[in-house]
Amino acid sequence: MKRNSRFSLALHALAHLAALRPPRPLTSAEIGEHSGTNPVVVRRTLGMLKESGLVSSEKGHSGGWLLAKAAEEITLADVYAALGERFLRMDVDGEDNPPGCAIERALLGGVEAALADAEALLVERLGKTTLADILARIPQPASVIGIVVN
């Protein structure tokens, strides 16, 4: 089992959806196979992207997942935000010690600023990379009729 694979899975799925020519809905099962996971996990993850308007889903026959926006309009920051990810985590003495000693309060203040700065930078950088940028980095396959990536 991998920890924190949501982001990875989401990007993988989005990339496959965007790379598909001609575009057609991909089922959770198909995406799961590509990504080495199972359909339910795919639904859980893409469900979050759907709430943020990045993808749409269709039920029934010939249903599945589709991009809801152009690949140029989806940034890594969008995905990061849609999943509610927090790559920067420290849990400085979590929620439950309101009467924490004076030293603890001082520590919190001293470290939080650095974390907030780094997170802001991270989001800013992620926002500068679009799904289309990612696709441009993929070496072109031999076949021209159908792109078949793993």
DSSP assignment of 11-58 equals HHHHHHHHH-SS---B-HHHHHHHHTS-HHHHHHHHHHHHHTTSEEEE
Q: Tell me which of 5, 27, 56, 57 binds a copy of itself, using CB under 8 A.
A: 5
- Quote the tokens at residue 68: 């809801």
Confirm or reject binding of residue 135 to a copy of itself (CB under 8 A): yes
Number of amino acids touching a copy of itself (CB under 8 A): 55
Phi and psi torsions of 102, nearest 5°? -60, -35
Residue 91: CB minimum distance to DNA, A: 8
Q: Report the interface residues with a copy of itself, using CB under 8 A.
A: 2-5, 7-8, 11-12, 15-16, 19, 34, 36, 76, 87-94, 97, 100-107, 109-111, 113-115, 117-119, 121-122, 125-126, 128-129, 133-135, 137-139, 141, 149-150
